Amino acid sequence: MKVRTMGRHLREGSRNITRNGWMSFASMSSVAITLFILGVFLLLALNVNHIANVVERQVEIRVFVKQDVEQSEVDKLGEKLKDLSQVESVTFIPKEEGLENFKKSFGDKAYWFEGLEKENPLSDEFVVKTKDPVETEMVAERIKNLPYVESVNYAKDMIKKLFTITTMVRNIGVAFIVALAFTAMFLIANTIKLTIVARRREIEIMKLVGATNSFIRWPFFIEGLLMGSLGSVVPIILLLVGYHYLIELVQVDLNLYFLDLLPLNPLAWQLALLLMGIGAFIGVWGSMMSVHRFLKV
Amino acid sequence: MIEMIDVWKTYPNGTNALEGINVKIEKGEFVYVVGPSGAGKSTFIKLMYREEKPTKGTILLNGFNISKLKESQIPKVRRSIGVVFQDYKLLPKLNVYENVAFAMEVVEASKKQTKPRVLEMLELVKLKNKLRSYPSELSGGEQQRVSIARALVNSPGTIIADEPTGNLDPETSWEIMRIFEEINVRGTTVVMATHNREIVNTLRKRVIAIESGRIVRDEQRGEYGYEG
């Protein structure tokens, strides 16, 4: 294709948007509205996923070492724990520190336990975190069989419930997003189809004077691309500004620090790129699908 | 040069539009295609610019065997002919100049080539004073002249016209015919389907009469031969 022709296609494609003013406006509005709803769900799903991740990461295995074991053996056990393939981190809490923590938890009543230092009833302890929290149970079972391990403690039932809930929330999120994306596609394809039906005469004439199919398609491709991307601008701005205020509201005004929302950066860029990409894709797809029907003249 | 050898056309609904057409039109000829409505005239014309495909038979057009043409080759064929319709088929949102230039844009001609050629064609159809007018601001005759200019702008060897004067009053029809006559004199083949008895009987040319899908008459300097 000649460069001049590409220039012509770009010009035609953008001019078509203004020429079919109201139709283009309708298409872009439906892109905007669906992308906005999609964006809201996306933000919601991403944050739920994020919170689920944070909660899951708090899952840990507490490994208690048998009493009266040589310090060197304890260290060896620590090495063995670190060597387990699914283990991410191992923290050693000597029994002295354990006692300190224990006393601290009683606040000003800590004096009750004065003198226990000499005959510390607590065990040395390892806190193990797994790379993937789902593997907690399996790792715990393996640790149980290591030498000098007195007992292993983790919230077995709680973990099972937690994972059922987080998987469910994630699946529902994905299903919603997929369904919304499809709805958006059909809505947009339909609106663009209307604008093309209005121009079938134009296409017919182009074919009759000897235009090739790709010559006819290009301006429509560009038009769809522009409408899709332009249509995504307003929802992106609204979502990002809205999200910015939401973070402020949650963390500054309401002091809900436990509600750990994803930070605006890099989420803003990811969301903007994703929505613009989806917008451009459905714009192009919709206009290509529709023009295809009229090329068989 | 257009040649049809034993061409049949049956539409999907079972209608036999053409039944064994054999015809040869030489370069530079001027041919009227006449016949009652529904006799197959339109199908005959549509086969020539490959809007319809024959069910059976061979059609040769300017060296292309268009009955065996691949989809991707159609644009090439269409560029070697100009088509003029009863309803003009102009783009309403483009002005006169743009409508004609459009046909050159499609074949990727440069601006430098386009401008003088479009002006030359608009001169030929005497519309140089209405370059910036839109189709809705023109009379029927003027619109048809624009569509003729568009059909001619890529210098095709053949002009195919499907009832070009069908919507025009007698006086305007004659203006249009004078243009066709002129381009034929310049060497372009003209094939015209028409219902206009007065024109056929006055401006005597070769007449091909089609009835019930067959050629029933083919004579040089023929007559219209039907009532009204």
Name the band, by pLDDT with cuts 50, 70 and 90, for residue A188: low
What pLDDT shows up at residue A296?
A: 67
Q: Does B65 score more than 60 pLDDT? A: yes
* Cβ-Cβ contacts under 8 Å for A294 (sequence gap 6 or more): A196, A200, A203, A204
- Look at strands B189-193 and B158-162 and give their pairing: parallel
What pLDDT shows up at residue B141?
A: 93
Q: Which of A208, A217, A218, A297 to mutate to test the interface with B (most CBs of B within 10 A)?
A: A208
Q: Which of B106, B121, B155, B159 to mutate to test the interface with A (most CBs of A within 10 A)?
A: B106
CB contact under 8 A, A210 and B79: yes
Q: How far is B115 from chain A (nearest CA, A)?
A: 15
pLDDT digits (tens, 9 = 90+) for B98-145: 999 999 988 888 889 999 999 999 999 999 999 999 999 999 999 999
Residues of A in contact with B108 (CB under 8 A): 1-2, 4-5
Measured CB to CB, residues of chain A less than 8 Å from chain B are: 1-2, 4-5, 8, 19, 201-202, 204-213, 215, 297
What pLDDT shows up at residue B101?
A: 93
Contact present, A201 and B89 (Cβ < 8 Å): yes
* Cβ-Cβ contacts under 8 Å for A207 (sequence gap 6 or more): A216, A295, A297, B74, B75, B78
**Six token digits for residue B63:** 């060296």
**Six token digits for residue A202:** 């134009």
What pLDDT shows up at residue A256?
A: 65
The answer to whether B154 faces chain A, any CB pair under 8 Å, is yes
**Six token digits for residue A114:** 């004065």
CB contact under 8 A, A212 and B72: yes
d(CA A38, CA A235): 10
Q: Which residue of A has its CA nearest to B100?
A: A209
Name the band, by pLDDT with cuts 50, 70 and 90, for residue A263: confident
d(CA A232, CA A279): 6
Name the band, by pLDDT with cuts 50, 70 and 90, for residue B70: confident
pLDDT digits (tens, 9 = 90+) for B158-215: 999 999 999 899 999 999 999 999 999 999 999 999 999 999 999 999 999 999 999 9
Contact present, A24 and A227 (Cβ < 8 Å): yes
In terms of phi and psi (left: phi > 0; alpha: psi -120 to 50; beta: otherwise), the region of B5 is beta
The answer to whether B108 faces chain A, any CB pair under 8 Å, is yes
> Closest partner residue to A205 among B76, B77, B89, by Cβ?
B89
In chain B, % of residues over pLDDT 70: 99
Contacts 24+ apart (CB under 8 A), A116-124: A120/A95, A120/A96, A122/A95, A122/A98, A123/A64, A123/A65, A123/A66, A123/A67, A123/A95, A123/A98, A123/A150, A124/A64, A124/A65, A124/A69, A124/A74, A124/A92, A124/A93, A124/A94, A124/A95, A124/A98
pLDDT digits (tens, 9 = 90+) for A4-57: 888 888 888 888 788 777 878 887 888 888 889 888 888 888 888 888 777 777
What pLDDT shows up at residue A209?
A: 86
Angle between helices A264-294 and A200-208 (to 10 degrees): 60
The answer to whether B185 faces chain A, any CB pair under 8 Å, is no
Residues of A in contact with B91 (CB under 8 A): 201-202, 205
What pLDDT shows up at residue A167?
A: 83
What pLDDT shows up at residue B33?
A: 95
What pLDDT shows up at residue B30?
A: 96
* Cβ-Cβ contacts under 8 Å for A81 (sequence gap 6 or more): A63, A87, A90, A126, A128, A143, A146
Contact present, B87 and B42 (Cβ < 8 Å): no
Q: How far is B27 from chain A (nearest CA, A)?
A: 21
- What is the longest distance spanned by two Cα atoms in chain B? 50
CB contact under 8 A, A204 and B108: no
Contact present, B100 and B150 (Cβ < 8 Å): yes
**Which stretches does DSSP call E strand in A117-268?**
125-130, 149-153
Residues of B in contact with A210 (CB under 8 A): 75-79, 103, 106-107, 154
Average pLDDT of chain A is 82
Q: Does A297 score more than 60 pLDDT? A: no
Sign of the Cα torsion B112, B113, B114, B118 reads: positive
What pLDDT shows up at residue A257?
A: 62
**Six token digits for residue B220:** 């040089």
**Six token digits for residue B190:** 């003209």
**Six token digits for residue A273:** 């790129």
SS3 breakdown of chain B: % helix, strand, coil, rounded to 5? 40, 25, 35
d(CA A21, CA A15): 10
pLDDT digits (tens, 9 = 90+) for A67-118: 888 888 888 888 888 888 888 888 888 888 887 887 777 777 777 777 777 7
Q: Does A205 score more than 80 pLDDT? A: yes
Residues of A in contact with B90 (CB under 8 A): 205
Helices (H), chain B: 41-48, 74-79, 96-106, 111-124, 140-152, 170-185, 197-202
The answer to whether B110 faces chain A, any CB pair under 8 Å, is yes
What pLDDT shows up at residue B205?
A: 95
Residues of B in contact with A207 (CB under 8 A): 74-75, 78
CB contact under 8 A, B89 and A201: yes
> Closest partner residue to B78 among A2, A4, A210, by Cβ?
A210
Q: Give the lowest-confidence range in A31-35, B3-7, B51-55.
A: A31-35
Q: Give the lowest-confidence range in A74-78, A107-111, A201-205, A220-224.
A: A107-111
The answer to whether B112 faces chain A, any CB pair under 8 Å, is no
| Span B65-85, average pLDDT | 87
Q: How far is A214 from chain B (nearest CA, A)?
A: 10
What pLDDT shows up at residue A238?
A: 94
d(CA A251, CA A245): 10
* C-alpha A255: how far from chain center: 24
pTM greater than 0.80: no
For residue B89, give the DSSP letter: -
| Span B16-20, average pLDDT | 92
Q: How far is B122 from chain A (nearest CA, A)?
A: 17
Contact present, B2 and B158 (Cβ < 8 Å): yes
* Cβ-Cβ contacts under 8 Å for A270 (sequence gap 6 or more): none
Q: Which of B95, B108, B113, B159 to mutate to test the interface with A (most CBs of A within 10 A)?
A: B108
Chain A to chain B, count of Cβ pairs less than 8 Å apart? 51
Give buried/exposed letters for A133-142 (b at 16+ CB in 10 A, else e): beebbebbeb
Average pLDDT of chain B is 91
Contact present, A65 and A149 (Cβ < 8 Å): yes
Name the band, by pLDDT with cuts 50, 70 and 90, for residue A294: confident
Name the band, by pLDDT with cuts 50, 70 and 90, for residue B19: very high
d(CA B114, CA B101): 6
Q: 3-state SS string over A83-116?
A: HCCCEEEEEEECHHHHHHHHHHCCHHHHHHHCCC
